[in-house]
Structure 1
Amino acid sequence: MFEEKTYKRCTCMGPLFEKDGEPALDDDGAQKVGRLDRNCPRLKERTHGSWYFQIELERGGDGKRRRPREGGFRTQEEAAARAEEVWKAAKAGVNVMSEETVAQFLDRWLKKKKTELKRTTAHEYGRDIELYMVPHLGALKLRDLRARHCQGIFDWIIADNERRTEHRGRVAELQEAADTACLAWRNAPAGTPAERAERAQLRGVWADARDRHAVERKQLQRTTGPSTMLSIKATLSSALNDALKEELIAKNYAQFLTLPKVTKARALAWTAPRVARWKRTGQKPSPVMVWTLEQTAEFLDFIVEDRQFPGWHLVLFHGLRRGELAALTWDEVNLDEEIIHVTEQLVSISYEIHEDTPKADSVRDIKLNRDSVLLLKAWRKKQRAERKQWEAHRAWKDSGNRVFTREDGSAYHPQFFSDRWDRLVSLSGLPPIRLHDGRHEAASLALAAGVAPKAVQAMLGHSSMRMTTDTYQTVLPEMHAATASASLDLMAAYRAKEQKKVAKKPKKKSKKRGKGEGKEAA
């Protein structure tokens, strides 16, 4: 049965007394001096001291009494309300006696989760905890955590994003001012001494503007986007789910958060109007872009002599990720069966390489097309020849039988493939697409060629068909043309069929009247 006990206490110092009213004495016989707490005579004053509560809970499993106590309330009503709140939380199964802070719990939780998470996921969890949760929630006792505290993280992020956006605009203005000052200095005449003096002054103005821009530019920070906020929420929700199981909180408060809407970037094809706009403004219509069939063929022709061409071919036609490309070994390549087994990937965390297994659905077998088989056979032959040359000088570096290596056998860092891809795309003069967009390209090409979506899903290693069709399928211009003509072709086929029916249908012969019929009618 709930029964709260509220009382006032303060921090005043004064002479102490025993319960029977006698002075409390120390070893030397002098009266003790200390905090008066609930015995302060000024507690009758309305504004003196603060209110506390204490409630009695059911005994714990060890038989000991449990008496939660909390103070610092301005009024007795606030203390009583808090006492009832703690009582209800205890009845809901929350361990209201726990003194563990949010920071302590998250540290303990992350250590446990690292044993069951992928390295990249554990790294993202750690980032979210360090940068967002601990600074805003860390000092709070976990038992006191509420939805408003969790929402405060995202309210701060949104406000900070506005500050960062304003700062980015200020940096752009400083850049423009520096460019204008530089142009004025370079165009200033320098014939006479007076003109040279004025030109030197203009150069000083430009130098000052350049330095101001450089200082502010170093302080640029990227805004935290909706996708990152969703990731932070997911991390917090996962942690609070475990806290709920441990009966440290009553609810998973992350479920009640309000976040900006996340709109997934739609993959778009580089059509002629989009290419023209990109050349004019330098802006991509979408973060995710793919080439048309013509552009893809042009890129393949341009990079055919590149050392990593077989790898680029696997990306564009079979949708390998860069980590899978870097980790692929000859042990997992069966050129007789024309299959590669994707069982490993290299992940980069703070540029440090770690070997890891892909997600469960990404462990897959990929059937190679005929060109990929020929390219890999030629590549293996070339790699073996390079190995003999380097072994002759005792300089060969064994990288675990990797498929794609440097001339000396050393493995590539996954970032190398992204950097090399960007360089080749830039040199080709084609509109930009990222290396990861090659997976979009592979999916779009396969679906446009009529490959069953289920087969494309298996090739890419997706857990659901929806992810394949919604996220990775781009409607290429060639597919637009086919779709636009499909209904017209259907109607035309129907009309042609009906016309054939009419042409084949025999004409009805009219009945001839007898000789006397006309006269009788008359």
Structure 2
Amino acid sequence: MKGHIRERSPGNWAIILDIRDPETGKRKRKWHSFKGTKRGAQKECARLITEIQNGGYVESNKILMSDLLLRWIDHAKSQVTPKTHERYTEVVKKNLIPALGGVHLTKLRPAQISAVYTKALTSGRRDGKGGLAPATVVLMHRLLKKALKQAVRWELTARNPAEAVDPPVVERKGMNTYDLDQTIVLLDNLEKSRLLIPVMIAVLCGLRRGEIVALRWRHIDLANGSLTVSESIEQTKEGVRTKVPKSGKGRVVTLPAMLTARLRLFRVQQAEELLAIGVRQTEATHLYTREDGEPVQPRTLTQAWRTLAASSDLPKIRLHDLRHAHATHMLAKGVHPKVASERLGHSRVGITMDLYSHVLPGMQEEAVARVDEALSLALEKRPRSVG
């Protein structure tokens, strides 16, 4: 195996490799371009020779990063949900391709990737108003790493340069939610609103937005005071679809007595309203509907909440934060994290512990106090030895 370099112009080098064709035994030459110092060209030549000798060499080609990223995003479509794929496509086309699309796949280096992340954090917004959020840059890194990993599997390149780059650190933001007093004020304010039922389900049962709008009367067991979460509605640019809940499985959630009572009244009220427009309520009827009885889309529920929040004196929080409120209420009152995890539909209790760690210190203090009290009582009851 031989290789040598040739200077084409100042700072531009040709690396010429002499390779023997494994099938014919004939020698052939492979040319690589290199920009830099003579010493750098010599090191690159040596690296390529080592790759060939170790069997890790992949013949250079003209594939650009834009070609790879578009091919990978199409490949990933069957592996993620439509909503996730929509987000992936957005990041690939708006962030990764503009930054790296013109780079040849086999010439991409960790330093280039790191520079892209740095620029994205300082001036990555398309409107020119500053940098991207660290969480967005972390997603860019994750997607680029996945695409390059697949390129290695496709034998388009010998290595994944993104593995040598660390993404930025994302600082966790404080969680905004309502305490019990604020929750009572919220429910009082919604007494005559169409949002009352979906908000009660969010803040008293911890359901996600898609799970709330997917609820039908067949999912509600008023006799036993429970609801079954077996479906979720996802909205993308292509339309609305029904899917399984985020955890991949259904769950049964016990209803608070006040919500069970409210649902009994609401079912009668909804039936009368629908009957007035010639629509019959059935087990397939959704709990949260438009005035004509048709189901509400997830984004419509979010917009309705934003309108309500804007006109309220309560702190402005997201619709999803009502789910956080339910979790913090439970944990603050000493409910075991495993129980909270099951109600929230987390796939692992560790997710619950991680998300709501800010609530756990108080629980720990209470637990220590209870153990201390129990030991103290046990010590007091212990028979004293006679000296």
Q: Structure 2 length normalisation: TM-score?
A: 0.84
CA 1:71 to 1:354, structure 2 compared with 1: closer, same or farther past 3 Å? same
Query: Offset at 1:331?
Result: 3.7
> Residue in 2 aligned with 1:347?
234
Which secondary structure state, in structure 2, belongs to the residue aligned with residue 57 of structure 1? strand
2:346 and 2:23 map into 1 onto residues whose CA distance is 48
In the superposition, relative to structure 1, how do residues 474 and 403 fare at CA in structure 2: closer, same or farther (>3 Å)?
farther
Q: In the aligned structure 2, how far is the partner of 1:219 from the partner of 1:52?
A: 41
Cα gap change, 1:377/1:88 in structure 2, threshold over 3 Å: closer, same or farther?
farther
Match of 1:429 among 310, 313, 317: 313
The question of whether the paired residues in 2 share the 8 Å contact of 1:453 and 1:465 is answered with yes
Q: Residues of 1 paired with 2:37 and 2:368: CA distance?
A: 76
Question: 1:144 and 1:5, CA in 2 relative to 1: closer, same or farther beyond 3 A?
Answer: same
| Number of the residue aligned with 1:410 | 294
Match of 2:31 in 1: 69
CA distance 1:72–1:444, change in 2 (3 Å)? closer
Match of 1:52 in 2: 14
CA shift in 2, pair 1:481/1:430, >3 Å:
farther
The answer to whether the 8 Å contact 2:206/2:326 transfers is yes
2:63 matched to which residue of 1?
100
Seen in structure 2, the aligned counterparts of structure 1 residues 336 and 61 have a Cα distance that, compared at 3 Å, is farther
Q: Answer yes or no: is the 8 Å Cα contact 2:331–2:337 preserved in 1.
A: yes
Is the counterpart of residue 145 in structure 1 residue 27 in structure 2?
no
Residue number in structure 1 paired with 2:144: 236
Q: Which residue of 2 aligns with 1:456?
A: 340
| 1:471 matches 2:355 | yes
Matched, 1:250 2:162: no
Q: 1:82 to 1:421 in 2, by over 3 A?
A: same
Structure 2: state its 5+ residue gaps: none
Please say if residues 329 and 401 of structure 1, whose CA atoms lie closer than 8 Å, have aligned partners that are also in contact: yes
Deviations 1:449-495 (A, max 9, x none): 3332112112112122222022136539xx95994797499469838
Q: In structure 2, what is the Cα distance between the partners aligned to 1:220 and 1:53?
A: 40
Q: CA deviation at 1:134?
A: 1.1
Aligned pair count?
Answer: 386
**Could you tell me how far 1:49 is from its partner in structure 2?**
11
Shift of 1:113: 0.6
Distance 1:76 1:424, change over 3 A: closer
1:358 aligns with 2:245: yes
Q: Does residue 311 of the first structure (1) align with residue 195 of the second (2)?
A: no
AA partner of residue 214 (structure 2): A
CA distance in 2, matches of 1:445, 1:49: 66
Which letter does structure 1 place at the counterpart of 2:376? Y
Q: Secondary structure at the match of 1:433?
A: coil
Q: Any gaps of 5 or more consecutive residues in structure 1?
A: 10-46, 165-217, 267-287, 509-522
1:411 & 1:62 partners in 2: Cα distance? Answer: 68
For each residue in 1:99-142, what CA deviation from the matched residue of structure 2 results, as whole angstroms up to 9, or x when unmatched? 22111111111111101211222122112211222112112221
Structure-2 change in CA distance of 1:103 and 1:507 (3 Å): closer
Task: Determine the structure 1 residue equivalent to 2:46.
Answer: 84
In the superposition, relative to structure 1, how do residues 122 and 58 fare at CA in structure 2: closer, same or farther (>3 Å)? farther
**8 A Cα contact 1:289 1:433, kept in partner:** yes
Answer yes or no: is the 8 Å Cα contact 2:63–2:105 preserved in 1: yes
1:319 maps to a residue whose letter is: G
Secondary structure in 2 matching 1:56: strand
**Distance of 1:160 and 1:93 partners within structure 2:** 37
Partner letter of residue 349 of structure 1?
T
Helix, strand or coil at the partner of 1:371: helix
Pick aligned residue for 1:124 from 87, 93, 98: 87
**Superposition RMSD on alpha carbons, in Å?**
3.8
* TM-score normalised by structure 1 residue count: 0.64
Deviation at 1:89, TM superposition (A): 3.6
Q: Secondary structure at the match of 1:291?
A: coil
- One-letter amino acid matched to 1:86: L
In the TM superposition, what whole-angstrom CA distance separates every residue of 1:25-65 from its partner, at most 9, and x where no partner exists? Answer: xxxxxxxxxxxxxxxxxxxxxx6896423213353679887
Instruction: Supply the AA of the counterpart residue of 1:105.
Output: L
**Correspondence list, 1:211-360, <5 A:** 221=129, 223-266=131-174, 288-349=175-236, 353-360=240-247
Paired residues for 1:198-217 under 5 Å: none
- CA distance change for structure 1 residues 297 and 92 in 2, over 3 Å: closer, same or farther? farther
What is the one-letter code of the residue matched to 1:386?
E
Going from structure 1 to structure 2, the CA distance change for 1:61 and 1:134 (only over 3 Å counts) comes to farther
User: Could you tell me whether the CA contact under 8 Å between 1:229 and 1:259 is conserved in 2?
Assistant: yes
Give a deviation string over 1:422-458, Cα, whole Å, max 9, x none.
3434544222332111111111122233332112112
Amino acid at match of 2:294: S
The one-letter amino acid of 2:303's match is D
Q: Distance in 1 between matches of 2:117 and 2:132?
A: 10
- Separation (CA, whole Å) in 2 of partners of 1:82 and 1:496: 74
Larger radius of gyration: 1
Deviation of 1:78 after TM superposition, in Å, equals 4.9
- Equivalent AA in structure 2 for residue 160 of structure 1: S
CA contact (8 A) 2:11 2:38 kept: no
| Cα pair 1:143 1:249 within 8 Å, conserved | yes
In structure 2, what is the equivalent of residue 112 of structure 1? 75
